[in-house]
Amino acid sequence: MGVEIKIDGLTKSFGKQLIWGDVTLTVPAGEICVMLGPSGTGKSVLLKTLIGLIKPDRGSVVIEGTDIASCSEKDLYEIRKLFGVLFQDGAMFGSMNLYDNVAFPLREHTRKSESEIRSIVMEKMDLVGLIGAETKLPGEISGGMRKRAGLARALVLDPEIVLFDEPDSGLDPVRTSFLNQLIVDLNAQIDATFVIVTHDINSCRTVPDNIGLLYHKHLAMFGPREMLLSSEEPVVRQFLNAQRVGPIGMSEEKDADELAAEADQELPPLPPIPLQLEPSNGIPRRAQRPPGEWCRLNGVTPPPGSFQSANAGLAPGA
């Protein structure tokens, strides 16, 4: 069914360096959420905080009534069983074949027999389209296959929450498209809560139910995909549309002179909001909302041309 993640007032510094402060948001059960932000804004630190690998200085992360930020090691151990994590490089053990890599969490954390393990591993390998590749070593396969193997491994303990750390890093656009479809299909099938950190604007525009943007040491905005894609808020607008004009500079924030210099520049119009990617079997996900619903309910006029099938999956502005 997936479980809700309730984050309240989360603050983290390393030494004197504040990473982010007062981050508050709720990821609803079973929904897909994408976290975005310029490099170094602490997206990976946030993922690690969600799973209790990093302790925040303040605030709470409540999952099924337990606050991960303050619970005992024993409770943390239990809560972690709810999570599956897809690490950036798939984090495969190089000397083990794919079958043994995927079987690893089952052998470590359960007392299942080898025949039970076999049926679970083969089911998950099937889900990610890797049947036939069981005996391959991670070094013998493409980056895309390694990600899918990592995903199969993240799924073997039937997680209620799946965290994806830049699932599309290092993948070409076609493989990224396939992976995005796989993510949507998996969400429909296992109904878990998905939190995805990505830099890929096209994925962010088409895959999630909700988008969060970390910027300048705080959560600039979090909400439904349509809300952020129709937002005129300068940072959100600049980042989600991959534009140079706006407060975000090459290294950090632009200074006052840089901003003054572009004050007269006209912003390009917001591109149309693409349709959300649907499961390939055509059956809507539980969390899926009809196109344009958020805009309609909130009296927001979406950019012209929004929600037309020709836009789906196109790069912004294309």
Ligand X SMILES: Nc1ncnc2c1ncn2[C@@H]1O[C@H](COP(=O)(O)OP(=O)(O)OP(=O)(O)O)[C@@H](O)[C@H]1O
Helix H or strand E encompassing 90: none
Tokens of 220: 């600039």
Q: Is the Cβ of residue 242 or residue 300 nearer to ligand X in the bound state?
A: 242
Distance CA 227, CA 223 (A): 6
Tokens of 217: 């040491």
To ligand X, the closest distance from the beta carbon of 14 in angstroms equals: 4
Q: Is the Cβ of residue 41 or residue 176 nearer to ligand X in the bound state?
A: 41
Q: Is the Cβ of residue 19 or residue 98 nearer to ligand X in the bound state?
A: 19
Distance CA 176, CA 170 (A): 9
To ligand X, the closest distance from the beta carbon of 39 in angstroms equals: 3
Instruction: Give me the 139-178 binding string for ligand X, x by CB under 6 A, dash otherwise.
Output: ----------------------------------------
To ligand X, the closest distance from the beta carbon of 277 in angstroms equals: 23
To ligand X, the closest distance from the beta carbon of 44 in angstroms equals: 3
CA distances from 51 to 41, 68, 113 (A): 18, 7, 28
To ligand X, the closest distance from the beta carbon of 203 in angstroms equals: 14
Instruction: Centre a 10 Å sphere on the Cβ of residue 219 and count the other Cβ atoms it contains.
Output: 21
Instruction: Give me the 7-46 binding string for ligand X, x by CB under 6 A, dash otherwise.
Output: -------x----x-----------------x-xxxxxxx-
Q: Which amino acid is at 148?
A: R
Residue 247 interacting with ligand X (CB under 6 A): no
Distance CA 176, CA 136 (A): 22
For residue 52, which of 67, 41, 34, 38 has the smallest C-alpha distance? 67
Distance CA 167, CA 90 (A): 8
Q: Is the Cβ of residue 37 or residue 90 nearer to ligand X in the bound state?
A: 37
Q: Is the Cβ of residue 39 or residue 113 nearer to ligand X in the bound state?
A: 39
Q: Is the Cβ of residue 40 or residue 269 nearer to ligand X in the bound state?
A: 40
Can you state the angle between helices 143-155 and 173-190, rounded to 10 degrees? Answer: 10
Can you state the angle between helices 143-155 and 98-109, rounded to 10 degrees? Answer: 20
Distance CA 158, CA 160 (A): 7
Window 43-102: residues binding ligand X (CB under 6 A): 43-45
To ligand X, the closest distance from the beta carbon of 115 in angstroms equals: 40
To ligand X, the closest distance from the beta carbon of 54 in angstroms equals: 7
Number of residues in contact with ligand X, rule: CB under 6 A?
Answer: 10
Positions in the binding site for ligand X (CB under 6 A):
14, 19, 37, 39-45
